[in-house]
Amino acid sequence: MIRQILDRGYGRLEWLLNVTAGRLVGTLRSRGGAIQLLYVVGLVALMAGFTSAVDFPVPNQGLVVYPGSGAETIPEAIIDASVIALGAGGIYLTFASGRQTTKSRAVNLYLGAALLLIIFSVLTGMGLQTLKG
């Protein structure tokens, strides 16, 4: 009985992921979605400091976070980009929670997930700044 419940849940999750991936690919193919995606990725890369990591390379790129204010490693720029993306995802979920008018429980779910994402990104960013010195 437990196996049937797990198989049913796995089937639903697989179907949901296929539908979501199909919608994403459809959006990227139509209405200039690929250009919008490249624009957002480029903007996040610039905000995360990829230019600084490429222009002023650190002698030891094996370090994840270089303890100094003048330089940045490429892994640190990748971590910064993920922190920025998490915060932006939290802000989008906050916006999406306000648009939910049909399901009242969905509002609380979206808002709770948004707050968790925002708190996680803020704490991770503060931790990176502490490591940076």
pLDDT exceeds cutoff 80 at 10: no
Q: How confident is the model at residue 123 (pLDDT cuts 50, 70, 90)?
A: very high
* pTM: predicted TM-score of the whole model, two decimal places: 0.64
Q: Of 27 and 11, which is predicted with more confidence?
A: 11
For 15-48, write each residue's pLDDT tens digit.
877 777 777 667 666 666 677 777 778 888 877 7
Q: Which residue has the higher pLDDT, 4 or 27?
A: 4
Query: SS in 3 state form for 7-54?
Result: HHHHHHHHHHHHHHHHHHHHHHHCCCHHHHHHHHHHHHHHHHCHHHHH
Q: Give long-range contacts, CB 8 A cutoff, 24+ apart: 96-101.
A: none
